[in-house]
A and B are shown apart, each in its own frame.
Chain A
Amino acid sequence: MNTITKEVNTITKEALPPATLLAVYRKALLINLVDERMRALLSSGRMAAVYYSPRGQEIVAAAMGVHLEPSDYLVTMYRGIHDQLAKGMPLRQLCAEYYGKATGTCKGKGGPMHITYPAAGIMVTTGVVGGGLPIANGLALAAKLRNERRVTVCTFGDGASNIGAFHESLNMASLWKLPVIFLCQNNGYGECTKYEKATAVAHVADRAASYDMAGVSVDGNDPASMWHAMREAVQRARGGGGPTLLEANTFRFKGHYFGDPGAYIPKEEYAAALARDPMPACRAAVLSSGAATEAQLQTLAAEINADIDDALKFAADSPPPDPGEIDIDIYGIGARA
């Protein structure tokens, strides 16, 4: 029987084993450091791209990623760099795509909002709010029809829960018991409008009840809560138990788009959120768990930064797409016999 969970944080917060916590932190730190670099490049004018910072949502993606295998599918959205990195997106092809280079994962044709990398299961990044949910169902349907073990994770924001596609998709997923996890990253704002001003229910996860689906709302900034909730959802999907609507409550520190002054966020609210910044908290937890020492974490950060340096150099040194590419990949080669 599906459990309908309306209260925030009813999932166990049982502490993670140190090694597990470190695995989550490792992915979160990668996201954090890549995001810092991207914002620095944009600020200095060394990169020109639309950018939607995931700052503040690192733990959600990291705790998702550690449960997934490369063969599992991910459908994410324009604010998706954290999800992509957590799912195994290689830095070189990612950075080259942000630079619009021929060596980018999409050959410079998709850009930041359409990162795709099927080798790691990153199937779609959509620039349309809610556009990914119907597609996630199809990926999950294919896996189910072929008796594959793989699950599909679809991430989206709280704003997407108000679009028709969300409701059509949840109904269909529940009806067909699809192995899909709808991971709503509720960062409190849909574009510039506060959650409460746009959404009639207290928690996005409440909406699962309408579709007889497991609905869970957790503190997405808490590695343990998020990890346990994600594990339960993945196990349910892999075990044939059908979909889950998992709402990860978090916060978006850098506004909707890069350069968004965020004047619509009350100062007190921002200060309170900053006090709960998941990155310093997770780091402290890793240290106190004994999973790593201060020196080891510094080494880890240095290694990641070296990888980012390498990726950015690769991107900068790569050629732009050949103009002739404009006519390629519109259509396939032709009909299959």
Chain B
Amino acid sequence: MSTPAEKQQTITFTEAFHRALDESMAADPSVILLGEDIGDREGGGVFKVTKGLSTKYGDDRVRTTPISEEAIVGAAVGAALAGMRPVAEIMLMNFVTVAMDQIVNHAAKLRFMSGGQTSVPITIRTRTGAGGGTAGQHSDMLEAWFAHVAGMKVVVPSSPADAVGLLASCIFDDDPCLFIEDSMTRAQTGPAPPPGHRVPLGKANVVRAGSDVSVVSYGRPIRDALAIAERLAGEGISVEVVDLRTISPMDTDTVLKSVAKTRRAVVVHEAPRSFGVGAEVSARINENLYGELAAPVLRVASRDVPVPFAKVLEQEFLYKPSAIESAIRQTLSAKARR
């Protein structure tokens, strides 16, 4: 049982997102929010992240928009070109596809195409994840698509404290950031960070140190990996857990440093296996550490199919924590090269 004082020191993911927005808006009048239903009259957002902010900062800075994703992101891009720091909320990640032209052709590239004369400091907050029965158009993890576009930064938090620090860093970063929130864990709690908490972009985090195998992941599976690492420690297996935090640009150095030490790696993500972030992480490890690996780099990911509705099918789709454990054991059983 936690005491009331201890309880105050934890926050949920939803509270974390809210806190980062609130602190950023208080710190800088150029921070504005755009999105569907985000004003208090509309309920403060479908997921309540922005609840209270339009009352506190006014409807000019917290702007409920029409259901027009391309116009929302485009307005954010334009306002950013004029020196503001807009945060666009796109309710769900699948709806981000409607705004692809603005993100891929404009936000990501205007700095480069203008020779550095302009920049697009926008943050696109979006939410996704399978497990809630939202099926094929409300659940996809599409982070690899955006990581593939130079100029974009793609960020996924794995704890409420990181959520505060990473979101604030996205807002005050001078480049376009896609910040991905997880639908299923929004009520999960974690230690509350101090006010003004920042987590740097482009830096991975060794969440748990270990010596036998590295689990490289981000977002929701980090909790699974930590639970498994704790359990396997009882068997004398030492698992290091590396949280990428920023998918792109990726902190390759931290990944390689970890794997150079453990000589084994399992890459885990919720997105489908093929052509995903796991393939990129695996390739970077292989390109740099091939001769030093004691086992092939393994991937644990969801199935290469649309996210299904029926519970049994949805569970069949999703990556399984038990598969992370199996993969760890598989790398350890592989015949050591030396």
Judge whether B276 is part of the interface by a CB distance below 8 angstroms.
no
A162 to chain B, nearest CB (A): 14
B175 to chain A, nearest CB (A): 5
Interface readout for B81-94 with A: 1 if CB under 8 Å, 0 if not? 11110100000000
A145 to B105, CA, bound (A): 26
Judge whether A126 is part of the interface by a CB distance below 8 angstroms.
yes
Residues 171-194 of B at the A interface (beta carbon under 8 Å): 172-175
A225 to B114, CA, bound (A): 34
Residues 77-123 of B at the A interface (beta carbon under 8 Å): 77-84, 86, 101-102, 105-106, 110-119, 121
A136 to B80, CA, bound (A): 11
Interface readout for A69-95 with B: 1 if CB under 8 Å, 0 if not? 000010100000000000000000000
Q: Quick check: which of A165-173, A252-260, A286-294 contacts chain B, the rest being far away? A: A165-173
Which of A110, A117, A133, A171 is in CB contact (< 8 Å) with B113? A110
Q: Which residue of chain B is the closest to A119 with respect to CB atoms?
A: B117
Q: Are A331 and B151 in contact (CB under 8 A)?
A: yes
Q: Which residue of chain A is the closest to B98 with respect to CB atoms?
A: A164
Judge whether A123 is part of the interface by a CB distance below 8 angstroms.
yes
A135 to B76, CA, bound (A): 7
Q: Quick check: which of A9-17, A100-108, A277-285 contacts chain B, the rest being far away? A: A100-108
A133 to B73, CA, bound (A): 11
A332 to chain B, nearest CB (A): 3
Q: Which residues of A contact B75 (CB under 8 A)?
A: 134-135, 137-138, 141, 172
Which of A106, A169, A334 is in CB contact (< 8 Å) with B174? A334
A174 to chain B, nearest CB (A): 11
Q: Are B78 and A116 in contact (CB under 8 A)?
A: no
Judge whether A336 is part of the interface by a CB distance below 8 angstroms.
yes
Q: Which residues of A contact B66 (CB under 8 A)?
A: 168, 171-172, 175
A131 to chain B, nearest CB (A): 5
Judge whether B249 is part of the interface by a CB distance below 8 angstroms.
yes
Judge whether B126 is part of the interface by a CB distance below 8 angstroms.
no
Q: Which residues of A contact B175 (CB under 8 A)?
A: 331-332
Judge whether B65 is part of the interface by a CB distance below 8 angstroms.
yes
Which of B76, B82, B172 is in CB contact (< 8 Å) with A337? B172
Q: Which residues of B contact A107 (CB under 8 A)?
A: 115-116
Chain A interface size, as a band, is 35 or more
A126 to B110, CA, bound (A): 9
Judge whether B60 is part of the interface by a CB distance below 8 angstroms.
yes
Which of B73, B78, B80, B121 is in CB contact (< 8 Å) with A140? B78
Q: Are A137 and B78 in contact (CB under 8 A)?
A: yes
Judge whether B131 is part of the interface by a CB distance below 8 angstroms.
no
Q: Which residues of A contact B65 (CB under 8 A)?
A: 172
A126 to B77, CA, bound (A): 13
Which of B71, B86, B106, B118 is in CB contact (< 8 Å) with A171? B71
Judge whether A263 is part of the interface by a CB distance below 8 angstroms.
no
Q: Which residue of chain B is the closest to A113 with respect to CB atoms?
A: B113
* CB contacts between A and B, total, < 8 Å: 160
Q: Are B77 and A116 in contact (CB under 8 A)?
A: no
A168 to B70, CA, bound (A): 7
Judge whether B68 is part of the interface by a CB distance below 8 angstroms.
yes
Interface readout for B62-74 with A: 1 if CB under 8 Å, 0 if not? 0101101011011
A107 to B115, CA, bound (A): 5
Number of interface residues of B (CB under 8 A): 49
Q: Which residue of chain A is the closest to B80 with respect to CB atoms?
A: A138
B118 to chain A, nearest CB (A): 6
Q: Which residues of B contact A328 (CB under 8 A)?
A: 116
Given contacts A108-B115, A134-B70, A137-B71, contact A73 B172 (CB under 8 A): no
Q: Are A139 and B81 in contact (CB under 8 A)?
A: yes
A106 to B101, CA, bound (A): 21
Q: Are B174 and A332 in contact (CB under 8 A)?
A: yes
Given contacts A124-B106, A126-B105, A335-B173, contact A117 B78 (CB under 8 A): no
Q: Which residues of B contact A143 (CB under 8 A)?
A: 82
Given contacts A333-B174, A334-B174, contact A138 B81 (CB under 8 A): yes
Which of B84, B111, B117 is in CB contact (< 8 Å) with A332? B111
Q: Are B82 and A139 in contact (CB under 8 A)?
A: yes
Which of A110, A137, A175, A335 is in CB contact (< 8 Å) with B74? A137
A127 to B76, CA, bound (A): 19
A141 to chain B, nearest CB (A): 5
Q: Are B153 and A331 in contact (CB under 8 A)?
A: yes
A171 to B174, CA, bound (A): 29
A173 to chain B, nearest CB (A): 9
A-B contacts besides A116-B117, A165-B101, 5 pairs, CB < 8 Å = A105-B117, A106-B113, A116-B115, A331-B111, A331-B151
A-B residue pairs, 10 tightest by C-beta: A134-B74, A138-B78, A332-B174, A142-B82, A107-B115, A168-B71, A116-B114, A106-B115, A110-B113, A168-B68
**Interchain Cβ contacts under 8 Å between A and B, 27 examples:** A106-B113, A108-B115, A116-B113, A116-B117, A118-B117, A124-B106, A128-B106, A131-B106, A134-B73, A134-B77, A135-B77, A135-B78, A137-B75, A137-B78, A138-B77, A141-B75, A142-B78, A142-B79, A164-B70, A165-B71, A168-B71, A169-B71, A171-B66, A171-B68, A331-B174, A332-B175, A335-B174
